[in-house]
Homo-oligomer: A and B are copies of this chain.
Amino acid sequence: MAKKQTSKKKSASRRVTAGGAVKDTVGLITAEARDIETKILKRGKPALHLPLRALANVKYSVKKGHFEMKGKSKERTLTVNTVKTFAQTLRMMSLSKELVEEDDIASKREAYYVSKNWGDARFVEQPESDTVMDDLEALFAVNREQLGFIPEEKGGDVAGQLVVVDRDRDTGATLKIDCTKFGSGAYSIPISVEHLGFETKASFILVIETSAMFQRLVKHNYWKTANCILVSMGGVPTRACRRFIRRLADEKKIPVYVFVDGDPYGFMNIYRTLKVGSGNAAHLNEYFCVPQARFLGVTPRDITDYELPTHPLTEIDVKRARDAIKNDPFVQHHRDWQRALEKLISMGVRAEQQALAKHGLNYVIETYLPEKLAHPERFLP
């Protein structure tokens, strides 16, 4: 059913998939709707086959570097009991088709409010409409953004050796956004990034946890010295931020180095989410993980090597680290991460990116980053 093309051409109804191929969202929706129509005209019971979104239907693909779905699916047949959900699913498909055709977007919240005009098919609470949206993602094996739906939250700033290619909605003209020309400011990643193109000769992408560290590197034009692209996550990366890095790294074949605080939260909640995605949205990890990401620092070893000021690990830190060693398939696969977490627990301390300021505000630029970047083979996986 998935009509794949290798062309890079983009139009309102053609979206680039994780691997760079193009899926025709409108075509997918129309085909599904036509199947249902045919069934009804033949006096049959129409049905939707939805992949089962549950941990039981998930496996860890070492090769692809993320969780992925096994083949189990559930069937939603039109019956007296399912009529409302069935109608809602079709309505949501129709809304999606409209969005893609008109090159418009709707947030999850807006989609919920739109349903208030669907008469009896309206959603009472937003979790209901979110579930139907998740079903459609799984049904068409696309991500929500490809269906025209956007998350509520925005996040992710970019500066450095990158030209983002977008287009003016009214004139259709190509817009080239040069991320070296923002001064102390930055390019703010839009909520949906599927339509963007990239031009770059950067050697790598440096992904940074804190806004303050990002601002320091921007202030000092570090991207010029290191010939790189700087991306600020501002904490746990949003979907758009992860997807942006993924598409950029895939398309331009450049390495991704990650620079976060040296604590279990930085390792697991930030880095691991960026790299392999999250466990409870396995059907999306194909799009929202960055398998090429490597961990530059702050490592437990950096804390000793650079004599960083530290804070004691909290109980929650220790619990998070122990849980990861015990239960996280990603950590279980990488002996290096088990060692790193064990070392941190035994040291009993954590250190922040900004702790490098002990040696002078620009030590990070003049010493730490150059020393680390001289040996990417030492980065944690």
With both beta carbons as reference points, the residue of chain B lying nearest to A187 in the complex is identified as B185
Residues in B neighbouring A356, C-beta threshold 8 A: 113
Contact with B along A149-163 (1 / 0, CB 8 A): 011111001000000
Q: Sort chain A's interface into a size bin.
A: 35 or more
Q: How far is the CA of A190 from the CA of B187 in the complex (A)?
A: 10
Pairwise interchain contact A166-B188, C-beta atoms closer than 8 A: no
- The stretch among A19-27, A57-65, A206-214, A279-287 that forms the contact with chain B is A206-214
Q: Are B117 and A169 in contact (CB under 8 A)?
A: no
User: Is there contact, CB below 8 Å, between B166 and A182?
Assistant: yes
Please state if B358 and A116 are interface contacts (CB–CB under 8 Å). yes
Within 8 A of B (CB), among A177-220: 177, 181-192, 195-196, 210-212, 214-216, 218-220
A115 to chain B, nearest CB (A): 9
A261 to chain B, nearest CB (A): 11
A354, B113: Cβ atoms closer than 8 Å: yes
Q: Is A224 an interface residue (CB 8 A)?
A: yes
Contact pick for A114, options B153, B221, B357, CB 8 Å: B357
Taken together as a complex, chains A and B put the C-alpha atoms of A224 and B196 apart, in Å, by 22
A177-B182, A185-B177 as given contacts; A153 in contact with B107, CB under 8 Å: no
Is A90 interfacial (CB 8 A cutoff)?
A: no
- Chain B nearest CB, measured from A303 CB (Å): 13
The closest CB in chain B to the CB of A218 belongs to B190
A window 98-145: CB within 8 A of B: 104-107, 109-111, 113-114, 116-117
Tell me the complex Cα distance, A219–B192, Å.
10
Cα-based distance from A361 to B109 in the complex (angstroms): 11
In the assembled complex, A305 has its CB within 8 A of some CB on chain B = no
Task: Judge whether A184 and B195 touch: CB under 8 Å.
Answer: yes
For A221, the chain B residues whose CB sits under 8 A away are: 168-170
Which of B170, B191, B224, B355 contacts A215, CB < 8 Å?
Answer: B191
Task: Find out whether the CB atom of A109 lies under 8 angstroms from the CB atom of B164.
Answer: no
Contact A110 B212 (CB under 8 A): yes
Which chain B residues lie closer than 8 Å to A381 at the CB level?
Answer: none
Task: Please indicate the chain B residues that have their CB under 8 angstroms from the CB of A214 in the complex.
Answer: 154
| Chain B residue with the shortest CB-CB distance to A156 | B188
Tell me whether B113 and A219 are in contact (CB under 8 A). Answer: no
Answer whether residue A46 sits at the interface, using C-beta atoms and an 8 A cutoff: no
CA distance A116 to B150 in the complex (A): 45
Q: In the complex, are the beta carbons of A185 and B211 less than 8 A apart?
A: no
Task: Indicate if the CB atoms of A185 and B181 lie closer than 8 Å.
Answer: no
Taking CB atoms, residues of chain B closer than 8 Å to A187 are 182, 185-188
Q: Whole-angstrom distance between the alpha carbons of A356 and B220 in the complex?
A: 44
Residue of B nearest to A108 (CB): B212
Instruction: Indicate if A88 sits at the interface (CB-CB under 8 A).
Output: no
Q: How far is the CA of A328 from the CA of B117 in the complex (A)?
A: 39
Q: Given A184-B192, A185-B190, A361-B104: A154 and B211 within 8 A (CB)? A: yes
Query: Which residue of B has the minimal Cβ distance to A168?
Result: B183
Does A232 interact with chain B (Cβ within 8 Å)?
Answer: yes
**In the complex, which residues of chain B have a beta carbon less than 8 angstroms from the beta carbon of A234?**
153-154
Residue of B nearest to A98 (CB): B361
Contact of A150 among B151, B157, B212 (CB under 8 A): B212
Closest 5 CB pairs of A and B: A166-B183, A154-B211, A107-B212, A188-B188, A113-B357
Question: What would 7 A/B residue contacts be, using CB atoms closer than 8 Å?
Answer: A107-B216, A110-B354, A157-B188, A168-B221, A175-B183, A186-B188, A187-B187
Known: A169-B220, A182-B187. 7 other contacts (CB 8 A): A105-B219, A106-B357, A107-B216, A113-B357, A114-B358, A154-B157, A186-B190
